[in-house]
Structure 1
Amino acid sequence: MSTARRLMEFGQWEHSAVCVYAELHSVAEVRRVAKELPEGWFRGREEYGEFDGVPLEDQPALVVGVKGPGVPVDPAACNGRLPVECELDDLPIGSIEDAFTAAIGPNRGWINWEMLRWPDAPEVGFYGESKHAEVTLLFNTPTRELDEPADDHTVLVHVRSVCVDGREMREPYAHWLAEQVGLTVIGPGQRW
């Protein structure tokens, strides 16, 4: 968390925000996280076309999506709905990060600080970044797709991707950003 926060604070400005997301793969985890994050929005999986023609009010709560207190008590409500997603979007920085970190447990998920503003670095040929300026802290996975479990966490610093002749031209900017807060990029770039 401290590594991610150092990067985020370097690019934070008045319009910056934070979002969190987790995939919950068991009924016990859905219930636990719903209690710990009552403002979270919980939504389960549905099969394509499963509720075509069914009025919204007649669809299961986990298909429509509910806040933590609305998560059904009956474990059968999760049948066919796992993994259940939990998310909170567009929150002020500092409002959810610690509670989410405490709640994530063994589940895969992320904290994403967005709408950051990376500064100009004309001495190395970079002229700021705001459109793609983000920091993501991945929990229990090394990828934004959350498709690979891991026993550790990964911090991603986001910059605009520019490839010329198969060579990534903006990756050095990510290295420069990390250096500004006393860090080093240790892994390969990822495309999102």
Structure 2
Amino acid sequence: MPATIDLWQGARMSNGVSHPVYRTSDPAAALATARRLLALGDRDDTHVSVDIELCTVAEVLEVRQVLPEAWFRTENEEFWAREVDAQTGLRCDWHAAELSTDANGLDPLLPLWASLLDQPVGSVEDAFTNLVGARYASIHWGRLIWPEAPERGYSGRVEHDGVTLVFNCDDAATTRRVGTHTVCVDVHRIEGSQSYAAWLAEQIGQAVVGPP
């Protein structure tokens, strides 16, 4: 399972679930749909986090420039096997400012994942969507409060409510599918959660398009 889902595990663990409600080949349309969903909820405490896989030095340097506050972590198994600090978990990531810009220094770390967590809504989404291209990536808006819908048996729970946009993989975020971008509604896992997710999707003219 790729690291893309790291940012939104909270919505998919025992008390949370994500329902795909929109799928498209147009990343800009996916972002616009995600924003329409966000507009349905209380966003006073909402933040946004992004995550992207980088397989070449050129990609790392590009993201480092676009997201100068990002953190980078390696997924290179040989690095983890070789580095004592990595084995003990004492040194597994680097801030953009301290990441090497030399190809010889970056090559042994590839693939890298870049993450930027808990940012103000609207601060990074457009620039991030523009640089995704064919890479695995995700945007997660957390601490959203969905409206209550007693007829659907749902009251918003801020620790699980949110929206996730997954780029270039299927709605389960497990299989690469370049050109497929999926918007998911994140809700508290209850008996009627799919019905409630469907109701949220209906508010913007969409529907649940796959299994949770």
- In the alignment, residue 153 of structure 1 is paired with which amino acid? H
Correspondence 1:95 to 2:127: no
Q: Which residue of 2 aligns with 1:50?
A: 82
Task: Report the Cα offset of residue 43 of structure 1.
Answer: 2.0
Q: Which residue of 1 aligns with 2:193?
A: 170
CA contact (8 A) 1:22 1:85 kept: yes
| Partners of 1:89 and 1:79 in 2: CA distance | 25
| Partners of 1:4 and 1:69 in 2: CA distance | 31
- Which of 126, 142, 145 lines up with 1:117 in the alignment? 145
Q: CA distance change for structure 1 residues 170 and 104 in 2, over 3 Å: closer, same or farther?
A: same
| Partners of 2:67 and 2:43 in 1: CA distance | 26
Task: Tell me the percent identity.
Answer: 37
- Which of 152, 172, 177 lines up with 1:149 in the alignment? 177
Q: CA distance change for structure 1 residues 143 and 124 in 2, over 3 Å: closer, same or farther?
A: closer
Greater CA drift, 24-33 or 144-153? 144-153
| Partners of 2:76 and 2:111 in 1: CA distance | 10
Taking the TM superposition and a 5 Å limit, the aligned residue runs for 1:135-146 are: 135-143=163-171, 145=173
5+ long unaligned stretches in structure 1? 164-168
Q: Is the partner of 2:201 in helix, strand or coil?
A: helix
- In the alignment, residue 205 of structure 2 is paired with which amino acid? G
Q: Which residue of 2 aligns with 1:107?
A: 135
Correspondence 1:65 to 2:93: yes
Task: Report the Cα offset of residue 144 of structure 1.
Answer: 5.4
TM-score, normalising length: structure 2 = 0.74
CA contact (8 A) 1:45 1:80 kept: no
CA contact (8 A) 1:42 1:86 kept: yes
Q: Which residue of 2 aligns with 1:183?
A: 206
Q: CA distance change for structure 1 residues 53 and 173 in 2, over 3 Å: closer, same or farther?
A: closer
Q: Which has the higher relative contact order, 1 or 2, with Cα contacts under 8 A spaced 6 or more apart?
A: 2
Task: Report the Cα offset of residue 120 of structure 1.
Answer: 1.0
Q: Which residue of 2 aligns with 1:11?
A: 41
Q: Which residue of 1 aligns with 2:66?
A: 36
Q: Which residue of 2 aligns with 1:166?
A: none
Task: Report the Cα offset of residue 3 of structure 1.
Answer: 0.3
CA contact (8 A) 1:115 1:133 kept: yes
Task: Give per-residue Cα distances to partners, 1:85-142, cap 9 Å, x unaligned.
Answer: 1010011111111111122222111110000111111123323332211101111112
| Partners of 2:143 and 2:35 in 1: CA distance | 14
Q: How many residues align?
A: 178
TM-score, normalising length: structure 1 = 0.81
Task: Report the Cα offset of residue 44 of structure 1.
Answer: 1.8
CA contact (8 A) 1:33 1:104 kept: no
**Which one has a larger percent helix, Structure 1 or Structure 2?**
2
Q: CA distance change for structure 1 residues 189 and 11 in 2, over 3 Å: closer, same or farther?
A: farther
Q: Is the partner of 2:117 in helix, strand or coil?
A: strand
| Partners of 1:155 and 1:71 in 2: CA distance | 31
CA contact (8 A) 1:108 1:146 kept: no
Task: Report the Cα offset of residue 49 of structure 1.
Answer: 5.1
- Which of 184, 189, 197 lines up with 1:161 in the alignment? 189
State the structure with more CA Rg.
Answer: 1
